[in-house]
Amino acid sequence: MKKTSPVSRSGRFGAGPGADVAQFTESVSFDWRLWQHDLLGSMAHATMLRKIGLLTKAEEIAIVKGLEAIGREIASGKFRWKLELEDVHMNIEAELTRRVPAGAKLHTGRSRNDQVALDMRLWLRDELCELSREIRLLQKSLVFLGAKNAEVLIPGYTHVQRAQPVYFAHHLLAYVEMLDRDYHRLSECFRRVNVCPLGSGAIAGSTLPLDRELVAKLLGFVDAKGMPQLTQNSMDAVSDRDFAVESCSIAALLAMHLSRLAEDLILWATAEFNFISMSDAYTTGSSLMPQKKNPDVAELARGKAARVFGNLVALLTLLKGLPMTYNRDLQEDKERLFDTIDTVRATVRLMASLLDNTTVKVKNCAAAASDPALLATDLADYLVRKGVPFRQAHHAVGALVALAEKVGKPLDEVTLEEFRGVDSHFGPDVADVFNLEKAMSRRVMTGAPGTREVKKQLARWMKLVR
Ligand code: ARG
């Protein structure tokens, strides 16, 4: 009898693929990293096969022990991956079967189509948890930097033009909010990743009495109540990559947030702003200009968003014209997904340590925040409180700003006569408007950068991220 190999070509095919074809079609060079999840899936499948009587207890034990031994070899770097065995699944199965005769029964009721969908969901589950944890740590770095500089005020900007004063912490907490939405998006996405496709076979399930619920439970595909979560359509299950697209889409949003944070830090570190100083370890010098200290880590955090966006578009493009069900095109999903998760995880980590190693130049911030023009809106509000319609108040303050600019003095040095010359509603109490401390205490609404509100928000986040 001809010896059968686990390679799917055996039996049907004569000559094997040429070297160039093997090179072109292989995925083991990148999907090997699914090995732990592939082993876990196979162990659960073996346990289930024994439970339904398709494996003996001894066979199950031999398979599980064989898989564990292979796992140890892979972990120690001794396992020899073979390109001609295409992918992680066939490499492991072939090696198992070489060692354990019962290995030839492991693929019962299973296809690489449901196997790879399973492995990717298992892998992604772990990665999403790690990413969520790292997002919380980045939030913590932002909150701590804000808390350490709780009294620091800076100008807030619109159009990169000075707008109104805000606490430095308020600016950082804006990113904490963005990251929190990313965090929650990830947990919602996790629910949809956490669904077991095994048992879908190649496309149409199996005639064998597979216990899908058992496999799902063994692999932790359960909801909050412990109910097994199973894909409900075998054709959808083997061709669906929504879970990958959704993860990459959330990652793209996250990368965009990180990129904006990076941009703010880059601006703040310029001589023009000069609000912060990044530790040397996160910057580089110039090979030509000795004075340079370039914010490379932040720049790359900004730059890496580009590849994350590109990966998302690549995945969507990969899927858009695919007829049902599995098509080999789907193999192209992995590098895009892996790269996305690797990139955002590294960026989140690096941004956290960059923030942990950034100091705030308190004096420079105070000098910038003391620009009285930042309180021009407060001046208009002053008139509103005296009963002046806002449009009219806005116009009056605009005239005062022009007047101050013309004579070349700051807004808070305009005399009472000059104020009253523009609008008779101005009284001696107008000087109060330029008291920055009072100005900040007037911003009392939820979400405003007022003294009490920012303290409250810092305290709220401190509790959440600690
Ligand atoms: N390496 C393949 C992939 O990543 C595994 C599934 C292969 N299935 C198949 N029928 N050729 O998609």
Residues framing ligand 1 (Cβ under 6 A): 27, 31, 87, 112-113, 116, 326, 328, 330-331
Instruction: Tell which one of 83, 90, 93, 113 to mutate to probe ligand 1, the residue whose CB is within 8 A of the most ligand atoms.
Output: 113
Cα of 11 from ligand 1 centre, angstroms: 18
Query: Is the model's pLDDT at 96 over the cut of 60?
Result: yes
HSE-CB of 338 using CA atoms within 13 angstroms = 14
Name the active-site residue from 286, 353, 395, 425. 286
Give 144-184 pLDDT, tens digit per residue. Answer: 999 999 999 999 999 999 999 999 999 999 999 999 999 99
Q: How confident is the model at residue 10 (pLDDT cuts 50, 70, 90)?
A: low
Q: How many helices (H) and strands (E) does the chain have?
A: 18, 4
Active-site residue 286, yes or no?
yes
50-64 residue pLDDT tens? 999 999 999 999 999
- Among protein residues, the one with the nearest Cα to ligand 1's atom 2 is 331
Q: What per-residue string of b and e applies to 385-418 under the rule 16 or more CB within 10 Å gives b?
A: eeebeeeebbbbbeebbebbeeeeeebbebeeee
Is 414 within 8 Å of 422 (Cβ atoms)? no
pLDDT tens for 325-350 read: 999 999 999 999 999 999 999 999 99
Domains and CATH numbers, the chain: 19-108 (1.10.275.10), 113-367 (1.20.200.10), 371-460 (1.10.40.30)
- Check residues 120 and 4 and name the one with the higher pLDDT: 120
Residues 228-263 have pLDDT tens digits of 999 999 999 999 999 999 999 999 999 999 999 999
| Geometric angle at alpha carbon 67, from 240 and 341, rounded to 5° | 40
Token pair listed for 246: 């959704």
CB atoms under 10 Å from CB of 202, counted, come to 15
Residues 6+ apart with CB under 8 A from 24: none
CA 192 to ligand 1 centroid distance, Å: 22
Q: Residue 191 C-alpha to ligand 1 middle, in angstroms?
A: 25
Contact, 25 vs 328, CB < 8 A?
Answer: yes
Instruction: Name 240's Cβ contacts closer than 8 Å, sequence gap at least 6.
Output: 117, 197, 231
CA distances from residue 272 to 221, 306, 412 in whole angstroms, order as listed: 53, 27, 24
11 pLDDT more than 80 = no
**With contact defined as beta carbons under 8 Å apart, do 342 and 331 qualify?**
no
* Mean pLDDT across 109-117: 98
The letter for the amino acid at 52 is I
Q: String of b and e for 181-196 (b: at least 16 CB within 10 Å)?
A: ebbebbeebbeebbbb
Residue 276's nearest CA partner among 288, 264, 292 is 264
Report d(CA 15, CA 7) in Å as an integer. Answer: 13
Q: Which atom of ligand 1 is nearest to the CA of 86?
A: 1
Say how far apart CA 462 and CA 458 lie, in whole Å: 6
CA of 311 to the centre of ligand 1 (A): 20
8 Å CB contact between 106 and 59: no
